[in-house]
Amino acid sequence: MKEDLIIAIDGYSSTGKSSMSKIIAKNLGFTHIDSGAMYRAVTLYAFQENYINNQKIDTNSLIEHLHDIKIEFKKDETTQKNNTYLNGQNVETEIRAMQISKMVSPISEIPAVRDYCVALQQKMGEKGGIVMDGRDIGTTVFPNADFKIFVTASPEVRAKRRFLEYQQQGKDIPMDEVLKNVNERDYIDSHRAYSPLRKADDAIEVDNSNMDLQQTVDRVMQIIQSK
Ligand code: DC
């Protein structure tokens, strides 16, 4: 296996893309990059700076200050997990909150935000040896990626996974609210004008509605190793 491969894993929210990408990267000795975490960090920044009020985004101020946003990933040596840092602060937990999930799709629709995050993703992945998960990795960020996987699952299955994750974190968010957020994000992510979520023509689709995490990892590893 070449060491400088680029593996793009795109798909809908809550399909387990990040979890599977983490394991696949570990199996291959590669670095995992969670591109969604970058859009989430930009959203958190917009909240911190009061560029989001009553669900309204002050797009001009956010664009003007995009270059004040420093996003990094650092490995926690104890847990071996990558954490997202926003301007020097570990925001890994904060960026997963429902408040962020509700605003991240409209924030990631802004072309300047996309350009900013895509440039960062291309820089982080330029040497290869990466597994990057997101929505447009195989179409826009790395159109020449060595492997492109597109992960799908039914909205109900995905909402149930997210609901259980929230429950494990002690957060009691009603199932219908979680399903509504999944459907809304699917719609915005796949209908935005600029770099929408879509399967690249040469991507291999994996529907994991009836698979658990390990089965999905096995399927993707099989695809990678069979080439
Ligand atoms: O993967 P995630 O659910 O954490 O991503 C959060 C949001 O970020 C998602 O709803 C859309 C946006 N996103 C994107 O537009 N492009 C990417 N490559 C990754 C995420």
Give the CA distances from residue 52 to residues 42, 59, 60, 120, in Å, rounded to whole numbers and listed in that order. Answer: 11, 9, 11, 23
Locate 27 and state its tokens. 């199996």
Ligand 1 test: best mutation among 32, 35, 140, most atoms within 8 Å of CB? 35
For residue 47, the model assigns a pLDDT of 98
Mean local confidence (pLDDT), 159-176: 94
Q: Is the CB of 11 under 6 A from ligand 1?
A: no
Average pLDDT over residues 130-159: 97
Best of 19, 98, 108 to mutate for ligand 1, by most ligand atoms within 8 A of CB?
Answer: 108
Residue 86 is predicted with a pLDDT of: 98
Tens of pLDDT along 7-20? 999 999 999 999 99
Whether residue 33 has pLDDT greater than 90 = yes
| Residue 167 reports pLDDT greater than 80 | yes
Residue 80 has pLDDT above 80, yes or no: no
Whole-number Å distance, alpha carbon 26 to ligand 1 midpoint, is 22
What integer pLDDT is reported at residue 46 of this predicted model? 98
Other C-beta atoms closer than 10 Å to the C-beta of 156 total 12
Helix axes 111-125, 35-48, angle to 10 degrees: 130
pLDDT of residue 81: 82
pLDDT at residue 88 above 80? Answer: yes
What average pLDDT is seen over the chain?
A: 95
What is the average per-residue pLDDT within 161-187?
A: 94
β-pair type (56-57, 52-53):
antiparallel
> What's the whole-number mean pLDDT along residues 198-214?
96
Instruction: Give pLDDT, residue 108.
Output: 95
Closest CA to 152 of 203, 191, 107: 203
Model confidence pLDDT, tens digit, residues 42-60:
999 999 999 999 999 999 9
Instruction: Tell whether the model's pLDDT for residue 178 goes beyond 80.
Output: yes
Q: Rounded mean pLDDT of 188-208? A: 94
Residue nearest to ligand 1 atom 11, measured at CA:
105
Q: What's the pLDDT score for residue 78?
A: 86
